[in-house]
Amino acid sequence: MAENLEKWIEELLKLDDAEDRMTDKQIKILKAAIEIFSEKGYAATSTSEIAQKAGVAEGTIFRHYKTKKDLLISIVAPLITKIITPIALKDFNKVLGASYPQYEDFLRAIIHNRLQFAKKNLHLIKILIQEIPFHPELQAQFKEHVAKKVLERFEKVVVYFQEKGDLRSIPTYTVIRFTISAAMGFIISRVLLVPELEWDDEKETELSIDLIMHGLSAKSSSQG
Amino acid sequence: MAENLEKWIEELLKLDDAEDRMTDKQIKILKAAIEIFSEKGYAATSTSEIAQKAGVAEGTIFRHYKTKKDLLISIVAPLITKIITPIALKDFNKVLGASYPQYEDFLRAIIHNRLQFAKKNLHLIKILIQEIPFHPELQAQFKEHVAKKVLERFEKVVVYFQEKGDLRSIPTYTVIRFTISAAMGFIISRVLLVPELEWDDEKETELSIDLIMHGLSAKSSSQG
Amino acid sequence: MAENLEKWIEELLKLDDAEDRMTDKQIKILKAAIEIFSEKGYAATSTSEIAQKAGVAEGTIFRHYKTKKDLLISIVAPLITKIITPIALKDFNKVLGASYPQYEDFLRAIIHNRLQFAKKNLHLIKILIQEIPFHPELQAQFKEHVAKKVLERFEKVVVYFQEKGDLRSIPTYTVIRFTISAAMGFIISRVLLVPELEWDDEKETELSIDLIMHGLSAKSSSQG
Amino acid sequence: MAENLEKWIEELLKLDDAEDRMTDKQIKILKAAIEIFSEKGYAATSTSEIAQKAGVAEGTIFRHYKTKKDLLISIVAPLITKIITPIALKDFNKVLGASYPQYEDFLRAIIHNRLQFAKKNLHLIKILIQEIPFHPELQAQFKEHVAKKVLERFEKVVVYFQEKGDLRSIPTYTVIRFTISAAMGFIISRVLLVPELEWDDEKETELSIDLIMHGLSAKSSSQG
DNA sequence: AATGAATGAGGATTCATTCAT
DNA sequence: CATGAATGAATCCTCATTCAT
């Protein structure tokens, strides 16, 4: 999935309403907006700047997006519903479908996927992180489409492994929080905080899984 | 430490230059700015809004802070150098001073302190998180005064416990990242993401420590 | 040449970039600015005042001229390079082309021309005189495009008549200064200082020429 | 006369109202204002700038001068009535008192005096030239105290020499204008336009007198 | 659909002036 | 007298948005 931003946008919005495809200019506007929003933040970005970078007239932006905020929403809303949500929910069903017999198989899959996605969509992720706190509409969407669903399924997964006797019987939400913290801590360090380091993604992933599993595993294990 | 924001500001700036104390209005301006910046973000906040909330004329702001950006810097810079830095560095020396015989004692102290601070200074923390990405001056300060020093000392602490045989011999920076991720994951959830939950801070702290220690400890331990 | 201000502006800027003609509003802005600048001076003129007089929104000014200073420069720079310079240099070549066999024929031409121009472009001349001292960019332009070239050619003309034996062998620059002083003294009195007097331009011009020539002529002459 | 600016100001204002002498600060304010007004123009000068340069508090300026304009008037008005007027009128009476038997003696005296004054009071002269066009009050004062009186006396002097048969019988005002133009042309070039040249004031003065006299003299004279 | 000139409300900032100390 | 903090009107300028072409 998520090969690169351009495809994302194109496919996304074509899927949306097959007849009402995006024009070339619309795509240019979106791309320009994404780039500048992520660099300077929504509030500090002017529509004229976007128009210039997109190579269109200022008026053209408002032909496609009623307001500047509309443009932000048009980026973030489908990002949440069409991209983040599927990514976020990916792999969860496979646990119950027995594709991932162990919690660590599941961990490996979600870390791998989210990292790949994060690497390819830094701009979008930055916008998401930076703008959600300031826009209640986005917060609501995020909560409903991502947070709630993810937590629901995550809960099922964790309970499943807890009942199976693989995971410790500590509060489920604590397990989830610990897992997400450790995984996201790695991903965020990797792509946002110190991307300039030479990362051995494979090795760091395995170490992270190991550390998480040591914390959560019901059986004690020997260590190096 | 850090009883509450008002005291913070007052004490801070009195310490700064004992003779050259802040005026009453200056404090009002700072407080208003902190509140609104944290709610709407720096770029989306207008100086007239700050003036109104502070109960001063707009011109008064510019008598004390040459530009709007200056006002931001005047909030964030001392926040970094005078508050965040000491807090961030707190407890590290006690390890080598043998006040914390175990890594988990150290963990308990840093989680406790940072959590207390975070609870009392939510506004400041939000501003820090939200604005640092957009202001290179602040990034530089943060890197120099906080990140670098914290990592240096953290490294010493971790190496100390690794050599002592208490912590596993995995890469030091991975240990640090894992520790910070798990601890910050808890704190951020607690104060930013879902503060409305009923948290048993004591119990959650102990659980977090337990989880971290299980991942890092050189000896296997029994679990619940 | 120089029929009146409106034509000046229009022709000027059409010549400048034939395709990229000025809009109607742009001309209105220029005219309003010229009028108010000349009345109150650049620094004492507000952009809102200009907008009002021009019958446009204040923002419109800044769409055409990036800053208020830009507006001033846009008036004065082409004034110097396109209007003042040609006027200032007019007639000089005719001396060497033998169109003006005598220095007084040359004098008659330059006084006549400059006076006509000054009468029709009082506003522009006032702006020039008042603002040049305060704006180094304009000073530089004036020096390069006008002062230097005029002096060069004036020198040639004076030397020509001195070598021809018509003019006294006093320092060339003194001759030039004396000529310009006497001529400009007349023109400035005529259009700026006491324009309300009833002037017989023809007669005063001839008198001025006579006075100058008496001072400069190599031959003594009878007087009345 | 006019030894230097400082003395001028001090003497001037002490004379004014012997009891109500200027304070040290007042003098500093005046000096600072004169300097900055002459450099940047009245409208472009801020009172805070003046206060800073004068080394006083902003409020202090307004204790002595009700408004900023008042400060300008306080500089220019006495300049006109106490300084420019006497200087302008100097020497005129000496003609009729037979101290100057010839028009050229008179010329020599006025050029010399005005040049000395101009050299020592450049700042004041610049302010005068630049601000009079924009301030009707100053215009009125200048007209009444200087222009009118000077012209009256100048007229008497010229008529005197015309009736004596020394000067040509051309219109008196033309004689005056020509004389002033030539004299001022020299002085202005000397102190304002190209002060950086190496001027032989003595020689240039004599040349100017010679040129003027040739134009005006009733008798033809030999030339160099 | 696309343009870009035009708008005017609003933004940051300056400034002359006031007034309590 | 002198101060300088405080003021708020006014200044220059930006920006999202509209609309005639």
Question: Residue C221 class from Cβ within 10 Å (0-12 exposed, 13-18 middle, 19+ buried)?
Answer: exposed
Do residue A223 and residue B220 have CB atoms under 8 angstroms apart?
Answer: yes
- pLDDT of residue A220 exceeding 80, the answer is no
Distances (CA, A) of D164 to D54, D122, D173, D210: 54, 37, 17, 19
Q: Is residue A66's beta carbon less than 7 angstroms from any atom in nucleic acid strand E?
A: no
| Conformational region of residue C217, where left means phi above 0, alpha means psi within -120 to 50, and beta covers everything else | beta
Residues of C 93-152 whose CB lies less than 7 Å from any atom of strand F: none
Please provide the average confidence, as pLDDT, over all residues in chain C. Answer: 87
- pLDDT of residue C19 exceeding 70, the answer is no
- pLDDT of residue A222 exceeding 50, the answer is no
Which residues in chain A are closer than 8 Å to B186, comparing Cβ atoms? 177, 181
Q: Is residue D90's beta carbon less than 7 angstroms from any atom in nucleic acid strand E?
A: no
Which residues in chain B are closer than 8 Å to A186, comparing Cβ atoms? 177, 181
Question: Residue C123 class from Cβ within 10 Å (0-12 exposed, 13-18 middle, 19+ buried)?
Answer: middle
The rounded distance, in Å, linking the Cα atoms of C187 and C200 is 12
Q: What percent of chain C has pLDDT over 70?
A: 87
Angstrom distance, A61 CA to F15 C1': 14
The rounded distance, in Å, linking the Cα atoms of C16 and C19 is 9
Q: Is residue B63's beta carbon less than 7 angstroms from any atom in nucleic acid strand E?
A: yes
Chains C, D: CB pairs < 8 Å: 104
> In chain C, whose CA is at the least distance from the CA of D135?
C40
| Residue B176: band (very low, low, confident or very high) from pLDDT cuts 50, 70, 90 | very high
The rounded distance, in Å, linking the Cα atoms of B169 and B181 is 19
Phi, psi (deg, nearest 5) at residue D78:
-65, -30
Do residue B218 and residue A218 have CB atoms under 8 angstroms apart?
Answer: no
Nearest to C27 by CA among C52, C45, C4, C6: C6
The rounded distance, in Å, linking the Cα atoms of A173 and B185 is 12
Closest Cα in chain A, distance from residue B18 (Å):
37
Nearest to D72 by CA among D38, D22, D122: D38
Q: Can you tell me whether residue B25 is helix, strand or coil?
A: helix
Kindly state the average pLDDT of the residues B76-92: 89
- pLDDT of residue B145 exceeding 60, the answer is yes
pLDDT of residue D46: 97
Do residue A220 and residue B218 have CB atoms under 8 angstroms apart?
Answer: no
| Residue B12: band (very low, low, confident or very high) from pLDDT cuts 50, 70, 90 | low
Instruction: Please state the separation of Cα C223 from the chain's center in Å.
Output: 32
Q: Can you give the length of chain D in residues?
A: 224
pTM over 0.75: yes
| Residue C18: band (very low, low, confident or very high) from pLDDT cuts 50, 70, 90 | very low
| Conformational region of residue B2, where left means phi above 0, alpha means psi within -120 to 50, and beta covers everything else | left
Which residues in chain D are closer than 8 Å to C103, comparing Cβ atoms? none
Angstrom distance, D49 CA to E17 C1': 15
Nearest to C185 by CA among D128, D159, D176, D201: D176
pLDDT of residue A6: 61
Which residue of C168, C207, C215 is in closest CB contact with D174? Answer: C207
- pLDDT of residue D221 exceeding 70, the answer is no
CA angle C168, C172, C174 (to 5 degrees): 90
pLDDT of residue B59: 95
Q: Can you tell me whether residue B217 is helix, strand or coil?
A: strand
Q: Is residue B27's beta carbon less than 7 angstroms from any atom in nucleic acid strand F?
A: no
Angstrom distance, B34 CA to E20 C1': 29
Structure-derived torsion over alpha carbons of residues C162, C163, C166, C172, reported in degrees to the nearest 10: 0
**Helix and strand element counts for chain B (H, E):** 13, 0
- pLDDT of residue C7 exceeding 80, the answer is no
Mutation site for D-interface testing, chosen from C196, C211, C221 by largest number of D Cβ within 10 Å: C211
Q: Lowest-confidence range among A92-101, B90-99, B212-221, D15-24?
A: D15-24
> Tell me: the pLDDT tens digits for A150-164?
999 999 999 999 998
Q: Do chains B and C touch (3 or more CB pairs under 8 A)?
A: no
Nearest to B103 by CA among B180, B181, B217, B221: B217
pLDDT of residue A11: 57
Longest Cα–Cα distance of chain C, Å, equals 65
pLDDT of residue A67: 96
Which residues in chain D are closer than 8 Å to C165, comparing Cβ atoms? none
| Residue A91: band (very low, low, confident or very high) from pLDDT cuts 50, 70, 90 | confident
Q: Which residue is nearest to nucleotide F18 (CA to C1')?
A: A59
Angstrom distance, D132 CA to E12 C1': 34
Q: Do chains D and C touch (3 or more CB pairs under 8 A)?
A: yes
- pLDDT of residue C11 exceeding 80, the answer is no
Q: Which residue is nearest to nucleotide E8 (CA to C1')?
A: C57
Q: Is residue B24's beta carbon less than 7 angstroms from any atom in nucleic acid strand E?
A: no
Do residue C223 and residue D168 have CB atoms under 8 angstroms apart?
Answer: yes
Question: What angle do the packed helices C172-188 and C103-120 form, to 10 degrees?
Answer: 40
pLDDT of residue D187: 97
**Is residue B28 a contact partner of residue B61, using CB atoms and an 8 Å limit?**
no
pLDDT of residue C176: 95
> Tell me: the pLDDT tens digits for A48-77?
999 999 999 999 999 999 999 999 999 999
Give strand letter and number of the nucleotide nearest C57 (CA to C1'): E7
**Is residue D48 a contact partner of residue D26, using CB atoms and an 8 Å limit?**
no
Q: Do chains D and A touch (3 or more CB pairs under 8 A)?
A: no
The rounded distance, in Å, linking the Cα atoms of C146 and C81 is 8
Q: Is residue B24's beta carbon less than 7 angstroms from any atom in nucleic acid strand F?
A: yes
Residues ≥6 apart with Cβ < 8 Å to D62: D47
Q: Which residue is nearest to nucleotide F3 (CA to C1')?
A: D57
Nearest to B211 by CA among B183, B188, B190, B177: B183
**Is residue C147 a contact partner of residue C137, using CB atoms and an 8 Å limit?**
no
Q: Do chains A and B touch (3 or more CB pairs under 8 A)?
A: yes
CA angle D9, D11, D16 (to 5 degrees): 95
Kindly state the average pLDDT of the residues C102-117: 93
Mutation site for B-interface testing, chosen from A37, A40, A107, A178 by largest number of B Cβ within 10 Å: A178
Highest-pLDDT range among A29-43, A98-112, D3-17: A29-43
Do residue C184 and residue D184 have CB atoms under 8 angstroms apart?
Answer: no
> Tell me: the pLDDT tens digits for D121-173?
999 999 999 999 999 999 999 999 999 999 999 999 999 999 988 998 899 99
Q: Can you tell me whether residue A32 is helix, strand or coil?
A: helix
> Tell me: the pLDDT tens digits for A158-194?
999 999 899 989 999 999 999 999 999 999 999 999 9
Q: Which residue is nearest to nucleotide F7 (CA to C1')?
A: B57
- pLDDT of residue C6 exceeding 90, the answer is no
Do residue A189 and residue B211 have CB atoms under 8 angstroms apart?
Answer: no
Which residues in chain B are closer than 8 Å to A216, comparing Cβ atoms? 211, 214
Q: Which residue is nearest to nucleotide F2 (CA to C1')?
A: D60
pLDDT of residue D190: 96
Angstrom distance, A46 CA to F14 C1': 9
Q: Which residues face C217 on adjacent strands?
A: C167
CA angle D209, D210, D215 (to 5 degrees): 100
Q: Which residue is nearest to nucleotide E14 (CA to C1')?
A: B59
> Tell me: the pLDDT tens digits for C115-163?
999 998 999 999 999 999 999 999 999 999 999 999 999 999 999 999 9
Structure-derived torsion over alpha carbons of residues C17, C21, C25, C27, reported in degrees to the nearest 10: 50
Which residue of D41, D168, D181 is in closest CB contact with C134? Answer: D41
pLDDT of residue C223: 44
Q: Which residue is nearest to nucleotide F11 (CA to C1')?
A: C46
pLDDT of residue B23: 80
Which residues in chain A are closer than 8 Å to B212, comparing Cβ atoms? 215
Which residues in chain D are closer than 8 Å to C216, comparing Cβ atoms? 211, 214
- pLDDT of residue D92 exceeding 60, the answer is yes
User: For strand E, which nucleotides have at least one atom less than 7 Å from a protein CB?
Assistant: 1-20
- pLDDT of residue A202 exceeding 90, the answer is yes
Q: Which residues face B167 on adjacent strands?
A: B217
> Of all helices (H) and strands (E), which one includes residue D40?
helix D24-40
pLDDT of residue A62: 95
Q: What percent of chain B has pLDDT over 70?
A: 87
